[in-house]
Amino acid sequence: MLAVVVAIFATLWLPYRSYVVYNSFARRRYENAWFLLFCRLAVYANSAVNPILYNAMSAKFRSAFRAQLACCCCCCRK
C-alpha cells in the first residue's frame, strides 16, 4: 500500500515540481496558463485520491472510518 501511495504522490506532483524547477533555472520562464491549471488540478487530485486509495487497500482504515461515522451520526441525533 505504501508503494502505491508514494507512486501516486510522485506521479501527481511531478508536473508541478518540474514546472517550478524549470522556471527556477530557465532564462525564459514557461508561463502556459493551461499547463499551470493542469499542474494544480493534479496536486488537488492527489489529496482527493488518498482516501479512496486507503479505503480500497486497507481494512483497518475502512473499519476506523465506519466507527468515526457511527460516532458522528450518534452525536448528531441527540
Handedness of CA 58, 59, 60, 63 (dihedral sign): positive
Residue 61 CB partners (closer than 8 Å, separation 6+): 54, 55
- At 68 the pLDDT is 86
Say what the pTM is. Answer: 0.76
Residue whose grid cell is 504522490? 9
pLDDT of the chain, 78 residues: tens digit per residue: 889 999 999 999 999 999 999 999 999 999 999 999 999 999 999 999 998 998 899 888 889 888 888 876 666 555
